[in-house]
Amino acid sequence: MADEVRCAVFGQGIYCRALVEFTNHCDNNCRYCGIRKGNVDLARYRLSDQEILDACATAYALGLRTFVLQGGEDAWYTDARLIPLIATLHERFPQAAITLSLGERSPQSYENLYAAGARRYLLRHETANPEHYRMLHPERQSFWHRMHCLYALRATGYQVGCGMMVGSPGQSWEHLADDMAFLQEFRPEMLGIGPFLPHHATPFSACPPGSAQLTLFLLSLARIMLPKVLLPATTALRTLLPQGLTQGVAAGCNVVMPSIPTAGYELYDGKAAVRDLPQVLRRMEEELALSGCALISARGDYGADNAAGENQRMQNACKPRG
Ligand code: 5AD
């Protein structure tokens, strides 16, 4: 049913977002996450502005029209550093959407970054249950602050993405029901749902991964509940499941977010490092063709008229192969 809803709303087109993981420094210590501050063994990096611009230019040339700038909560990235970067991207690539995924910041900062040209913001709520939130995060990170940020983003005018891990340690059926109730109330424009995957340098290293089948089930519920939501087949799902893209699409997913080549952004074990973006796109095209779908070159804003068929297939997709 989710597949039918996806097809009715979006047709055959799958949006493709360029994920630029530009810093793995993080001031937070989320118990599940491989780039947590407490992981002292991790080699930390920050891409230069030039490297970020180059990564976006590479993606743009291949037909991608959304740049997702994602990083740890890295205080080095003050507004004063981010504003010129976002403004330059916005100016150089006026046809592309800029999505940020930088964690919790002040409402003023969210406004400043919006004014610079960002229009979407991803901030997963992680769990809609405050007690469960406390199990996943140290004391100084609060569920209520996370909620406050999500509503501040909404009030600023962003298209907002939230989301949760499936099978994170301590998660119960009730917690997942809380998540679904929260989604129904918040009605996010974007939604990331992926399985929890253990990372060796975290307190949850010995915990089992979340279930791929349950993730797919929740994705399909989300598609039916929020027909127009932008729903990626997450990297975590595709890490756990070899056929994650095809199965994600069959469960209602309509977005993929390939990382643009950078090393060391390791949220969980087994996360593949990307080398060759054209090859990654080709492989995704081939997988999608099996589901009768194709990557399209469009910004893919929430509520855009997708089924009209005016979205161009990505150039990559049009090139004859072999
Ligand atoms: N397994 C799965 N997802 C994870 N994330 C962080 N660590 C893990 C993990 N070990 C997710 C979180 C975060 C997003 C960027 O990645 O939900 O919000």
- Reported as a single tens digit per residue, the pLDDT across 95-122 is 999 999 999 999 999 999 999 999 999 9
Query: In sequence order, what are the beta bridge partners of 126?
Result: 164
Whether the per-residue pLDDT at 292 is higher than 80: the answer is yes
Rounded mean pLDDT, 166-177: 98
Query: If you measure from the C-alpha of residue 33 to the centroid of ligand 1, how many angstroms do you get, rounded to a whole number?
Result: 6
Rounded mean pLDDT, 5-16: 97
Is the shortest distance between the CB of 240 and ligand 1 below 6 Å? no
Is the shortest distance between the CB of 33 and ligand 1 below 6 Å? yes
Is the shortest distance between the CB of 32 and ligand 1 below 6 Å? yes
Burial category of 223 from C-beta neighbours within 10 Å (exposed 0-12, middle 13-18, buried 19 and up):
buried
Query: If you measure from the C-alpha of residue 151 to the centroid of ligand 1, how many angstroms do you get, rounded to a whole number?
Result: 21
Q: What angle do CA 199, 200, 205 make, to 5 degrees?
A: 75
Is the shortest distance between the CB of 158 and ligand 1 below 6 Å? no
Sheet holding 66-71, edge to edge: 18-23, 66-71, 97-101, 120-122, 159-166, 190-195
Cα–Cα distance for residue pair 159/122, rounded to 1 Å: 9
- 2-292 adopts what CATH topology? TIM Barrel (3.20.20)
Whether the per-residue pLDDT at 188 is higher than 50: the answer is yes
Ligand 1 atom at minimum distance from 197 CA: 1
Confidence of residue 314 (pLDDT cuts 50, 70, 90): confident
Per-domain boundaries in the chain: 2-292
Q: What is the mean pLDDT of the chain?
A: 93
* Better-predicted residue by pLDDT, 206 or 305: 206
Confidence of residue 305 (pLDDT cuts 50, 70, 90): confident
- Flag the least confident range among 84-93, 177-186, 303-312: 303-312
What percentage of the chain exceeds 70 in pLDDT?
A: 93
Is the shortest distance between the CB of 19 and ligand 1 below 6 Å? no
Cα–Cα distance for residue pair 288/282, rounded to 1 Å: 10
Kindly report the pTM of this predicted structure. Answer: 0.94
| One-letter amino acid for residue 150 of the chain | L
Beta strand pairing call for 294-297 and 13-16 = parallel
Whether the per-residue pLDDT at 311 is higher than 80: the answer is no
End-to-end alpha carbon distance in the chain: 35
Query: If you measure from the C-alpha of residue 308 to the centroid of ligand 1, how many angstroms do you get, rounded to a whole number?
Result: 34
List the residue whose alpha carbon is closest to atom 7 of ligand 1.
33
Confidence of residue 322 (pLDDT cuts 50, 70, 90): very low
Q: Among 29, 33, 196, which residue has the most ligand 1 atoms within 8 Å of its CB, making it the best to mutate?
A: 33
* Confidence at residue 226, expressed as pLDDT on a 0 to 100 scale: 98
pLDDT digits (tens, 9 = 90+) for 260-272: 876 556 677 776 6
* Confidence at residue 319, expressed as pLDDT on a 0 to 100 scale: 43
Confidence of residue 276 (pLDDT cuts 50, 70, 90): confident
The DSSP symbol for 14 reads E
List the residue whose alpha carbon is closest to atom 2 of ligand 1.
196
Rounded mean pLDDT, 130-159: 98
pLDDT digits (tens, 9 = 90+) for 34-81: 999 999 999 999 999 999 999 999 999 999 999 999 999 999 999 999
Query: If you measure from the C-alpha of residue 205 to the centroid of ligand 1, how many angstroms do you get, rounded to a whole number?
Result: 13
Which residues, in sequence order, are CB contacts of 173 under 8 Å at separation 6+?
none
Whether the per-residue pLDDT at 317 is higher than 90: the answer is no
What percentage of the chain exceeds 90 in pLDDT?
A: 89
Is the shortest distance between the CB of 237 and ligand 1 below 6 Å? no
Ligand 1 atom at minimum distance from 32 CA: 10
Is the shortest distance between the CB of 196 and ligand 1 below 6 Å? yes
Residue whose pair of structure tokens reads 């180059």 in the numeric block:
54
- Count CB neighbours of 269 within 10 A: 15
Query: If you measure from the C-alpha of residue 135 to the centroid of ligand 1, how many angstroms do you get, rounded to a whole number?
Result: 15
Query: If you measure from the C-alpha of residue 191 to the centroid of ligand 1, how many angstroms do you get, rounded to a whole number?
Result: 13
pLDDT digits (tens, 9 = 90+) for 211-228: 999 999 999 999 999 999
- The answer to whether 238 and 245 have CB atoms below 8 angstroms apart is yes
List the residue whose alpha carbon is closest to atom 16 of ligand 1.
267
